[in-house]
Amino acid sequence: MHRIFVLLLSLVLSELVLAQTPEQQGLEIAQEGDRRDSGFVDSRADLTMLLKNRHGDESLRHIRIRTLEVEGDGDKSMSIFDKPFDVKGTAFLSYSHKTGSDDQWLYLPALKRVKRIASRNKSGSFMGSEFAYEDISSQEVEKYTYKYLRDEACGERECFVIERYPVDEYSGYTRQVAWIDKQEYRPAKIIFYDRKNALLKTLVYNNYNQYLGRYWRAEKMFMENHQTGKSTLLTWTNYKFANAFTDRDFDRNSLKRAR
Amino acid sequence: MRSLVLLAVFIMPVMSLASEGTWSGNVALEWRDFLQSPLAGEQQGDSMSLSFQPEYYRQWNNGQQAFRFTPFVRIDGKDQERSHLDLRELSWTYVSEEWELLAGVSKVYWGVAESLHLVDIINQTDLVENPDGEEKLGQPMIKLTLVRDWGDLDLFILPGFRERTFPGRRGRLRTQVPASNGDADYASSAGREHIDVAARWRKTLGDWDIGLSHFSGTARQPLFREGTNSAGRSVLIPVYDTIDQTGLDVQATKGDWLWKLEAISRSGQGERFSAAVGGFEYTLYGIFDSGADLGLLTEYLYDERGNAATTPFEDDVFIGARLAMNDVASSELLAGVITDLSNGSQAYNLEASRRFGQHWKLNLEARLFSNINAKDLLAAQRNDDYVQLELAYYF
């Protein structure tokens, strides 16, 4: 009796799934990923960026990043630059929003000046790297519309392959194709298409670690620009959660003493 | 010299802390090439100079308390008044959830405009460093910041006045009769010991960043009277009045447009007057299908005193462009011209920079004066067009 009920239920469920449009399926996958990652409250990490051009010339950046989760809106984040040495002490404060422009301030230590900066420039390069501001800012569900494409093996795992379309008209992309791990709902790979819908970049996530028994963070993120031959490797180390950060750690006063 | 003594007093405890904090800073070699011969025969031409600004920083109690020490020294090959030592910063900070306290020597920046910094008044201008007035001397202060829902309120007590630095007799970019360093008149009987006070409220409201400030104390910008120095040569003696200045600075960040306004009202220096600077910065992103951004700037500069103003910018327009290549070398260029609408005098300005590797940076600066009217305050500098190259090592 019990077994028949389960069988019936699974039939009904699979009917439901079948009845879903690919758009609904895609959205649900994104929502589930977001649900699994919410509640981390705050984090801090050290970021090394290794920039390479097509001739193999390398350049290094060292940044410390603090993040505060905001209920019902995008996260607040503070980036503190350590290297190259001429930008040491420069700090970047961002309040991301689910919809509309983010609020961003930049602190220039030589003049002791805090500058509010225009944030519509989502497609611009972050620190001369192959990551655009929109690639590194907080990934809110509302920033895209979605479409489920197919299931596919990704390395040793199984992935959903979904396509997502930026809502913001100032995004540098027409679409992104993302491979999402079916078990953990974390991204494995994203392919970016530029505004002319030509292949632009590929981002590969590697060396995932789990924190607080729940949240997955990739230690390596490798972005390759197919149009320029340049690449950027991000290496995240010293992840720390439960820092008891407050809004005061992400206000304009904190910019001036972010060291 | 006073800063030298201060340095000596504080350097010992600093050194004992040094093992636990971090040192950073830069050393820079600067070369200035003046394009024309000077107006006065005694003024020197091209110059080389060396500057050094280390910074020691240490924080403890999880960042709740911090100590910062930043001396600065320049040795100039030609102008001995430009060779100077300053204590840019020697401060202790305490941070709590609802307030912050800073005591010591520090720097504070107020304002939003690019062509002129009207509202910014806490620190004295280190004029020998750069004629653009953006370099500042360290100011002794006690600063209390209250952090509340209704905004941030900074309260300042400012003991110890700093006199503006002026190029020497042999230096360029000076007034026709050189201004005196060391001799100064004060309206207040307390002289440089007068204790100034200031307050500033600041709040972000959506796209708007608003600041309202008041300063009561010794003017940072002097007037001048003719006099003689101890060597019996004629000089301009700076006269520092006691003033009250209320300032407003507003920026509206609307998409690709930044709208900016700074306005002041000052009393105590002759009749009460107002002055303002305002305009916009519009940015074009990813120009020419590259990652470069181009910002277009326009500002209008106004001073109610008109021709009697103590700045050359009483009815002027600034037009400029800022190019950021967003490349690995962070190549940047800022070029602009300020035109006096009433007499046609023009001051051109160019600043460019590029990084090499992890430690080196090359800065190019050029200032050109064109069509300078004999009555304009820039008249004495009309032959002081220069190109400057600076190679800096950061650590």
- pLDDT over 70 at B5, yes or no: no
Name the residue facing B209 among A113, A116, A123 (closest C-beta): A116
The DSSP bridge partners found for residue B197 are B157, B216
**Contact status of A244 with chain B (Cβ, < 8 Å):** no
Q: In whole numbers, what is the pLDDT of chain B averaged over residues?
A: 93
If you search the block for the tokens 């000596």, which residue do you land on? B8
Does A111 contact B392 at a Cβ distance shorter than 8 Å?
A: no
DSSP, collapsed to helix, strand or coil, labels residue A226 as: coil
pLDDT at B16: 53
With CA atoms as reference, the chain A residue closest to B355 would be A86
Least Cα separation, residue B113 to chain A (angstroms): 10
Q: What is the mean pLDDT of residues B11-31?
A: 77
- pLDDT over 50 at B268, yes or no: yes
Residue A176 structure tokens: 């992104």
Name the residue facing A248 among B97, B107, B134 (closest C-beta): B97
Instruction: Mark out chain B residues that contact chain A at CB-CB < 8 A.
Output: 24, 26, 57, 59, 63, 66, 93, 95, 97, 100, 107-109, 134, 145, 147, 152, 202, 204, 209, 251, 253, 255-258, 283, 285-286, 291, 293, 326-330, 355, 357-359, 361, 392, 394-395
Name the residue facing B256 among A87, A118, A251 (closest C-beta): A118
Percentage of the residues of chain B whose pLDDT score is greater than 70: 95
Percentage of the residues of chain B whose pLDDT score is greater than 90: 85
- Helix/strand/coil (H/E/C) assignment for every residue in B98-114: CEEEEEEEECCCCCCCC
Q: What is the mean pLDDT of residues B254-272?
A: 95
Does A248 contact B255 at a Cβ distance shorter than 8 Å?
A: no
Which residues in chain B have Cβ-Cβ distances shorter than 8 Å to A83?
358
Least Cα separation, residue A258 to chain B (angstroms): 9
**Contact status of A99 with chain B (Cβ, < 8 Å):** no
If you search the block for the tokens 């006691």, which residue do you land on? B242
Query: Which secondary structure element, helix H or strand E, spans residue A254, and what is its range?
Result: helix A252-256
Which residues in chain A have Cβ-Cβ distances shorter than 8 Å to B283?
118, 121
Residue B62 structure tokens: 């999880």
Q: Complex ipTM, two decimals?
A: 0.91
Cβ–Cβ under 8 Å, residues A88 and A79 = no
pLDDT at B351: 97
**DSSP calls for B19-66:** GGSEEEEEEEEEEEEESS--SSTTS--SEEEEEEEEEEEEEETTTTEE
B6: pLDDT confidence band, cut at 50, 70 and 90?
low
**Contact status of A83 with chain B (Cβ, < 8 Å):** yes
Q: What is the pLDDT of residues B351-370, one digit of tens each?
A: 999 999 999 999 999 999 99
Least Cα separation, residue B6 to chain A (angstroms): 22
> How many other β-carbons are positioned within 10 Å of the β-carbon of residue B95?
22
Cα angle B170-B175-B177, degrees, rounded to a multiple of 5: 70
> What is the rounded CA–CA span in Å between residue A201 and residue A175?
11
Of A48, A80, A57, A231, residue with least CA distance to B329 = A57
> How many other β-carbons are positioned within 10 Å of the β-carbon of residue A103?
20
- pLDDT over 80 at B138, yes or no: yes
With CA atoms as reference, the chain B residue closest to A196 would be B289
DSSP, collapsed to helix, strand or coil, labels residue B178 as: coil
Q: What is the pLDDT of residues B159-204, one digit of tens each?
A: 999 999 999 999 999 999 999 998 999 999 999 999 999 999 999 9
Cβ–Cβ under 8 Å, residues B309 and B292 = no
A139: pLDDT confidence band, cut at 50, 70 and 90?
confident
Does A257 contact B258 at a Cβ distance shorter than 8 Å?
A: no
Which residues in chain A have Cβ-Cβ distances shorter than 8 Å to B95?
257
pLDDT at A5: 63
Cβ–Cβ under 8 Å, residues A194 and A200 = yes
- pLDDT over 90 at A15, yes or no: no
Q: In whole numbers, what is the pLDDT of chain A averaged over residues?
A: 91
pLDDT at B22: 92
Least Cα separation, residue B89 to chain A (angstroms): 11
Least Cα separation, residue B342 to chain A (angstroms): 32
pLDDT at B1: 45
Query: Which secondary structure element, helix H or strand E, spans residue B252, and what is its range?
Result: strand B242-254
- pLDDT over 80 at B46, yes or no: yes
Query: Residue A38: exposed, middle, or buried by beta-carbon count in 10 A (0-12, 13-18, 19+)?
Result: exposed
Test the A interface: residue of B64, B119, B253, B362 with most A CBs within 10 Å: B253
Q: What is the pLDDT of residues B205-225, one digit of tens each?
A: 999 999 999 999 999 999 999
pLDDT at A6: 62
Q: What is the pLDDT of residues A108-135, one digit of tens each?
A: 999 999 999 988 777 888 888 999 989 9
pLDDT at A119: 82
Cβ–Cβ under 8 Å, residues B299 and B113 = yes
**Contact status of A17 with chain B (Cβ, < 8 Å):** no
B15: pLDDT confidence band, cut at 50, 70 and 90?
low
Name the residue facing B253 among A83, A116, A259 (closest C-beta): A116
* DSSP 8-state secondary structure symbol assigned to residue B179: B
Q: Report the relative pairing of strands A199-211 and A42-52 from DSSP bridges.
A: unpaired
> How many other β-carbons are positioned within 10 Å of the β-carbon of residue A44?
17
Q: Determine if residue B306 is left, alpha or beta; phi over 0 gives left, psi from -120 to 50 gives alpha, anything else beta.
A: left
> What is the rounded CA–CA span in Å between residue B237 and residue B185?
7
pLDDT at B106: 97
Q: Which has the minimum average pLDDT: A43-57, A220-234, B201-215, B373-387?
A: B373-387
**Which alpha helices (DSSP H) does chain B contain, by range?**
2-17
A226: pLDDT confidence band, cut at 50, 70 and 90?
very high
If you search the block for the tokens 């120095």, which residue do you land on? B229
Query: Which secondary structure element, helix H or strand E, spans residue A83, and what is its range?
Result: strand A76-83
What letters, b where the CB count within 10 A reaches 16 and e where it falls short, cover A211-247? eeeebbbbeebbbbbeeeebbbbbebeeeebeeebee
pLDDT at A4: 63
Does B326 contact A124 at a Cβ distance shorter than 8 Å?
A: yes
Q: What is the pLDDT of residues A164-207, one digit of tens each?
A: 999 988 899 999 999 999 999 999 999 999 999 999 999 999 99
